[in-house]
Chain A
Amino acid sequence: MATNLLQGTLDLLILKTLALQELHGLGISHRIAQITQGTFQVKPGSLFPALHRMEESGWLESYWGESENNRRAKYYRLTVPGRAQLATETDEWQRISIAMASALEST
């Protein structure tokens, strides 16, 4: 998949994942793999820069918490602007996917 497309997609997937549940890094990457049926294997090298970038943009906030097996882990949750962003990006994505689908079918 093209990288720039990937970045937008990754943002959207992270927002979507966190909309359901507050998660730590590993949890997010597992969750994404799960909901995309393994299509997206998010590597830490992409995941962490994306998380930090979105946090700096004010869409996410982070806090230290306990993981399932009692380890300290950093959790991320959606902020109010983050929810708004999710809505915007979802709409955008749907518009694009419809447009792309019809474009590809039209031949």
Chain B
Amino acid sequence: MPLLPRLSSLRRNLFDKPRVEQDLDEELRAYLEQLTDEKVRSGESYAAARRAALLELGGVEQVKEEVREIRIGNMLESILHDLRYGFRSLAKNIGFTGVVILALALGIGANTTMFSVAYGILMRPLPYPDAGRVALVYMHFSPQNFDRGTMCIADYLDWKAQNHAFEEPSIFSSRRMDLVGTGEPEQVQGALVTAGFFSTMRVPPLLGRVFLPGEDRPGAPSTAVLSEALWRRRFSASPAVIGQSIAINGASATIIGVMPDAFRFPRATTELWTNLPLVPPTRRGPFIARGVARLKHGVTIEQAQLETNTIGQRIMRENPYYRNLTLPVERLRDAIVGDVRTPLLVLIGAVGLVLLIAVVNVANLMLARATTREGEMALRLSLGAGRMRLVRQLLTESLLLSIAGGVAGLLVSYGGIQLLRSWNPGNLPLIEYVELDGRALGFMLLTAVVTGLLFGLAPAVQGMRANLNSTLKEGGRGARAGTSTARRIRTALVVSEIALSLMLMAGAGLLIRSLEHLERVTGGFAAPPRDILTIAVSPSDRKYNDAQAFRNLYEDMLERARQVPGVEAVALSDTLPPDRQEDADTFTIQGQVLVSGEQNPAVSDAIISGDYFRAMRIPLLKGRFFTPQDKQESAPVVIISDSLARHFFPGQEPLGRRIKQSGPDNQAPFMEVVGVVGDVKYTGLQKDTDAAYYMPYGQNFGRRMYVVVRTSLGAALAPALRRAVQAADPGVTLNQVETMQETLSRAVALPRFDTVLLAAFALVALLLAAVGIYGIIAYSVAQRTHEIGVRMALGAGQGSVLGMVIRQGASLALIGILLGLSGAFALTRLLSNLLFGVSSTDPLTFAAVALGLLAVALLASFIPARRATRISPVTALRYE
């Protein structure tokens, strides 16, 4: 088919349209005149001939329309036309358009963000080859009782010897490591690992090599692998770093390799790996390491678990010290993701509800608009518009809306992800891998488009069913029986919107109450958290080789800190609330009768200086605090927490009783209980494990201690204090210089993250529901203008009209609230793991949320109701 004439026609049709149109008009007029002439010639009167000709032609406009439709470029042109018309009609209804786009933007944006985050954390492949086969192996036993507890080297050797399920099992032990030399002393997160560690993870080094087989045998030279970040920061990314020697914790080690940035194991913050020498153990303990290993091909994680169970049984049989020993196996992903899985899934569920509400809202608005446009549709049909053409017009409008909503949603999700990444509450793992997920966005866009199309077509469907005559006769007033289905659907949509928002609000309310409780947990000390400054001191240098050297150093530090202007109290402790527990150990009470092998549970034990309780304002309940007289030479003393006193000396006088550290076999001396103090949270704010015992640092010693200072100057004092403490020895590493306020807020960062997000979702849901109620009531008022006018003409007062309209809104809201409450009762149970100090069906929260929603619903119906009272009967009746 020749192309040239088609192109020139296209050009003419698009760019020379008036001439083409005029030409067509003249052609048809000429045709009509010729036809009339013929008929006149055959003897008819001119008028009759003209009429007959017109009839034969079948309507000039219709013929023109048919010619236009076959024209080249017609499709393009009518699309352009539809778009123009669509833009105009959307712009004319700026309120409707704005609300739909906002609803879609929030629904799509929030969902894409949450799904991207959840995918990045829960599903995105880990940066370790075939990571699905890598598992962590823990040890759980009484009296330690940690779910993901550690094992000792002897346990590891037993496991390794009897292992068949895994390729070369390895262990790692995370700890802080002090880097001295080449610049400022610095403490970094490190890990001691056995030789097979890196080959289990299967990530090649960026530079140099990783540990070779045998580098974990006793006496092997100390070697170190750096993270890319540490290498760039401290060694300016120099390749010459390989073979250099660095001082780690006061001992020298040779750098053998650098790991790429993607390698972040065992912790996201780990920057230094050194070889763990497997010194032949003489006893069980210390418990320092967790296992990591790769499943052999064809072995499932369940089979591996069965095998480690058997191994655990054997270890327990040979070592009566252990009770209830198991070796739990956990997939690498689960180990990394840990506690955030539940909150993330809850948030995904919540955001899904938001999308549902947004979609329902859009559907509702579309239907409302469809009803008001029935008249327009009927008019256009009767003026010769093709039905398909109308459908196309409506589809164009819906698509415009959906696309605008989608683009806005894309912006929202892009911003949302940036926001979440920069606001990363610290303990959200893998957040660095989170990026906008194309599939999530695509799915959300599809949802938006399908919703738009489905409900955007409603007017066309209604228009096609409607009887043109009756619609036109109604004069577009639209109060017809035919719309009652649409009205019922819309009512149901609004009710479900309210119900869904109530469910979200109930969830958010519970989390807010829970966070309130959590933030009210002070950790057990009465000093204002912003007044407590803490510094972690880590004297790694070899010159501190005995207890006296340490004590001299710490005395010096205390003295220098005390001199800083503004300092009110100074103390030392190796354990701090809310979760910096250096050590947990069992204890033995003198005279206590235990079944052979039985032990008391492990509790926090702290080594403190005498002023610790005074600095932190921890109340003394009984007895006395430590004094400077509690020294090495004097009788050993101990202070116990209230909770330990109540559990182990119920109804007895604890003062004067004697306890000792660890199990009955421990050689440590018994210590006399001289005081009972208030409970302090050392293992986390949400934990109930408040039992602890305190030992004076004059009689015990810890290498690493926190300097604790109380000052009304708070964080402002930090630089001066740091300088003063550092002056005691420039070679000592100082870390985590921060107020207790900062520490506490970090401890509730993850709960706050869930709460803020869920509350934001609930707020969006509430807004959307309010818009939904407002829309349906306003629409109903507009529909009933005539009826209300009649009522008022017949003497109905403004009050009764107001009441009538508001009652309508209130009844919708009440049905929705009742449905929502029953849904919430069923759903909030899923939250129970995230709640602290509040039940998942807390009646106060539920009542508050229901009342709040009702208030918003009433407000949303009040605005159109007031409009109804302003209807003038005269105007209303003239509307006929």
Contact = CB atoms under 8 A, between A and B. Distances in A.
Contacts of B56: 43-44
A53 B58 CA distance: 20
B5 interface: yes
A81 B2 contact: yes
A57 interface: yes
B81 interface: no
Interface in B59-88: 62-63, 66-67, 69-72
Contacts of B1: 57-58
A45 B652 CA distance: 109
A52, A58, A81 interface centre (most CB from chain B within 10 Å): A52
A49 B2 contact: no
A57 B71 CA distance: 10
Interface stretch (A12-20, A31-39, A71-79, A96-104): A71-79
A93 interface: no
Interface in A21-62: 24-26, 43-45, 48-49, 52-53, 55-58
A73 B30 contact: yes
Shortest 10 CB-CB distances between A and B: which pairs? A58-B5, A56-B9, A58-B2, A74-B27, A53-B70, A49-B70, A26-B34, A73-B30, A49-B66, A25-B31
B57 A44 contact: yes
Given A25-B27, A48-B63, A56-B72, A71 B6 contact: no
Contact of A56 (B5, B30, B37): B5
Contacts of A71: 30, 33-34, 37
Nearest to A41: B56
Contact of A57 (B6, B24, B26, B33): B6
B27 to A, nearest CB: 4
Contact of B35 (A26, A57, A58, A74): A26
7 contacts: A45-B58, A48-B66, A49-B70, A55-B5, A67-B30, A71-B30, A71-B37
A72 B30 contact: yes
B4 interface: yes
A48 B62 CA distance: 11
Classify chain B's interface size.
Answer: 20 to 34
Nearest to B4: A58
A44 B67 CA distance: 10
Contacts of B70: 49, 52-53, 56
Nearest to A64: B26
A101 B313 CA distance: 93
Contacts of A55: 5, 9
Given A24-B34, A43-B58, A71-B34, A48 B28 contact: yes
A69 interface: yes
Contacts of B23: 74
Interface residues of A, number: 21
Interface string B190-209: 00000000000000000000
Interface in B24-60: 24, 26-28, 30-31, 33-35, 37-38, 56-58
A24 B34 CA distance: 10
Contacts of A72: 26, 30
B31 A49 contact: no
Nearest to B31: A25
Nearest to B13: A56
Contact of A52 (B6, B62, B67): B67
B58 A44 contact: yes
Nearest to A53: B70
Given A48-B27, A71-B34, A73-B30, 7 more contacts: A43-B56, A55-B9, A56-B72, A67-B34, A72-B26, A74-B27, A74-B30
B5 A45 contact: no
Nearest to B9: A56
Nearest to A84: B2
Nearest to A73: B30
A84 B180 CA distance: 94
A58 B63 CA distance: 21
Given A56-B5, A56-B9, A56-B71, A45 B66 contact: yes
A49 B67 CA distance: 4
Contacts of B9: 55-56
A83 B28 CA distance: 26
B2 A57 contact: yes
Nearest to B58: A45
A53 B63 CA distance: 13
Contacts of B71: 52, 56
B72 A45 contact: no
A64 B37 CA distance: 19
Contacts of B35: 26
B354 to A, nearest CB: 50
Interface in B716-772: none
Contacts of A56: 5-6, 9, 70-72
A72 B33 CA distance: 10
A37 B134 CA distance: 88
A58 B26 CA distance: 21
Contacts of B6: 56-58
A69 B37 contact: yes
B28 to A, nearest CB: 7
Given A45-B62, A48-B28, A73 B34 contact: yes
Nearest to B38: A26
A52 B24 CA distance: 9
A74 B26 contact: yes
Nearest to B12: A56
